[in-house]
Amino acid sequence: PKTDIVFLKVHKSASSTVMNILFRFGETHNLTFAFPLGGGYQLFYPQHFLARFVQGFSPQSPRRFNILCHHMRFLQPEVQKVVPSSAIYFSILRNPVQLMESSFVYYKGASAFSRVRSLGEFLSQPDRYYNPASGDRHYARNLMTFDFGFNPDGEVSPERVQLMLKAIEASFDLMLISEYFDESMVLLKETLCWDLDSVVSFPLNTRDSSTKSPLPDTAVEKLKAWNRLDWEIYTHFNRTFWERIDRDIGRERLRREVKALRERQAELARTCLQGTGSVAPKDIKDSSLRPLQHGGARILGYNLKQGLDRELERTCRRLVTPELQYSSLLYKKQFAPQPA
């Protein structure tokens, strides 16, 4: 199994669920993580990543870490200073239309969104509300483009788009698609030579459907145009994703593996969870399993069954521990004060 991994955690793309998979694998295999300085949750995002943002990195003794997966704005020469050269680089993308709808609810406080009542109102005159000079502009335009390190207000000429796609392809070994999450996990498992249980997960950081609203067709077209660079990234890598599946796995085996993955997930849900699945934040009984609530979204969580044996309780708890709590736990473990 591959143990050196860089995951570019793109915002609002099921990336918290992927991060949970990496946390669990790293913990089980005693791997080291490149944590933000002081145990924060982001690598000084939205600045471009620098090696010195990582706890325990020093240019004098370039220590390498196994897994880099916290939010960052990608800059490969700096990333290469903190992970082994053999590291596998991957990321996950989401349809920019849904991504922006999610971003609007989640980052309602962002300057571009704070003065409008709805996404439709923003899209009717985006230039009126969007300021390219504001420090949080990326939440409102081409968020994936920004996370990959590029200018979200860059021109959209075919030459420029090609250069950007080539640069991403040169840096990343694998690009997953959040709309095909289970298929993506099968491909990830294949690429990393992991077993099935390593890529099993419960959806984390998902929001209650009461805050989701379907978008009219006119809004969809406007969203694509406004996030044109993201749209180019998404359509390109959605295509190469399926080409890769056909080349490395084949549709028939993919179907079998996805079925096995879903069955295992259902089995774990029956074993671990009270009720049928995720619950509203107010209904989460164990406060240590309550996810951070953000913006206008209601972020769901889980209740574990009572009376599980110790080993099983641990497995189940890891599957539902929200990102911030899990990150803190691993940070404390990795940087525990050494006994004198």
Q: In the predicted model, what is the mean pLDDT of residues 155-175?
A: 97
Kindly report the three-state secondary structure assignment for every residue of 188-248.
HHHHHCCCHHHHCCCCCCCECHHHCCCCCHHHHHHHHHHCHHHHHHHHHHHHHHHHHHHHH
For helices 228-248 and 181-192, give the axis angle rounded to 10 degrees: 60
Nearest Cα neighbor of 143 from 90, 178, 75, 97 is 97
As a whole number of angstroms, the distance between CA 128 and CA 125 comes to 6
Nearest Cα neighbor of 293 from 277, 302, 282 is 282
DSSP conformation class of 299: B
pTM score, whole prediction = 0.95
Helix (H) or strand (E) holding 90: strand 88-93
Q: In the predicted model, what is the mean pLDDT of residues 49-75?
A: 95
Q: In the predicted model, what is the mean pLDDT of residues 195-220?
A: 86
**Contact of 167 with 229, CB cutoff 8 Å:** no
304-325, pLDDT tens digit by residue?
999 999 999 999 999 999 999 9
Contacts (Cβ under 8 Å, ≥6 apart) of 313: 304
Query: What separation in angstroms does the CA of 254 have from each of 100, 149, 188, 247, 264?
Result: 30, 32, 12, 11, 15
CATH class of 5-325: alpha beta
Q: In the predicted model, what is the mean pLDDT of residues 13-35?
A: 96
As a whole number of angstroms, the distance between CA 38 and CA 56 comes to 10
Q: In the predicted model, what is the mean pLDDT of residues 155-182?
A: 97
DSSP conformation class of 139: G
The domain spans of the chain are 5-325
Place of tokens 């020093």: 58
Q: What amino acid is encoded at 331 in this protein? A: Y
